Structure 1
């Protein structure tokens, strides 16, 4: 299941990065840079958080190949990957969020780390790559926008961190739930409560 989520998240976030690069009219190299950063940035941040060497990412050489092929295909045939259900490629980003947040939580749980580490790993793995992508593209990061985003990573972080799931089907169900909730939060414009500073008298 960990490898399956890795593949799903990598492809989804690579496509998300390509979408942003195409919207910003970047050239082919810009497409590759944003795609790779989106697909692997969250894993790098997670590794730093839980004490793994960042160089561990290079052990996934075959995933880099998969991402490269997917990004090249998306660049050559952009109309075939522009179907996103919602604006700005949020469909691919939602899939990446669900897959990588669950993967991050599984990673922390497999190392015997506490619940707090599972929650943090889920949040950073799910949002780290997209955050770096948006900053490089000069955009306001998705997790800072009004629609609920990073809060959905609490679902896999808590459920997996508390060992409430026992099989791959249940983990996959959590991924689907996060994707659906993220899409709903954009479509229905759900947002968390916010406050504005009181005006000085």
Structure 2
């Protein structure tokens, strides 16, 4: 159950963020849907390839596709209401998507008895893969690769689940909220990882 709820939360959050990025780049309606779907399902597809789940498993998620389509259609039909708040809430929906999908990816890999390194990789790719593909298709520098802390929270989710520190639904929801709060704090306070520029 926790699994399904996290999937739905992540799918809506990323489908909306993909659709809004497409509208900011002035893509047509087809571009909005393509970018939204790629953002919502890209991370899962990359994860499935790497941990040995048939990619066809993605096509069995009919309900999630419908949920994503409804979310994107809403954004397309009522852009002004949503775009007004996007500056404020855009990073927040991204934080929700990152957190939900990172936990879901880690659970997926752990359930298949993969080693902890694979659990962490699955968490990072599921949490940030869709966002990376979205930013690349929109011609932007991927959020994950900038100095602001982003993927670190997905790594944390992978480690906590890989070491069996969160198992019950209550623990998983608590972890979800914790990761969202950490991500929100990291962009609000501009926490950064060390970075080195080679420009003189």
TM-score range, shorter chain: over 0.9
CA–CA distance in 2 between the matches of 1:54 and 1:45? 9
- Tell me how far 1:197 sits from its aligned partner: 4.3
Distance 1:185 1:150 in 2: 11
Alignment RMSD, CA only? 1.5
The Cα shift of 1:182 comes to: 1.3
Runs of 4 or more, structure 1, over 6 Å off, are none
* Structure-to-structure mapping, 1:1-150, within 5 angstroms: 1-82=2-83, 83-84=85-86, 86=88, 89-150=90-151
**Offset at 1:125?**
0.2
SS in 1 for 2:61: helix
Offset, 1:85? 6.1
Q: Which residue of 2 aligns with 1:183?
A: 184
Gaps of 5+ in 2: none
Larger deviation: 121-130 or 163-172?
Answer: 163-172
Secondary structure in 2 matching 1:86: helix
Compute the TM-score of the two structures, normalised by the length of structure 1. Answer: 0.94
Deviations 1:31-76 (A, max 9, x none): 1011000000000000011011111100101110111111001110
Aligned length: 198
Q: Give, in whole Å, the separation in 1 of the partners of 2:49 and 2:101.
A: 16
Distance 1:179 1:65 in 2: 25
Structure 2 length as normaliser, TM-score?
A: 0.94
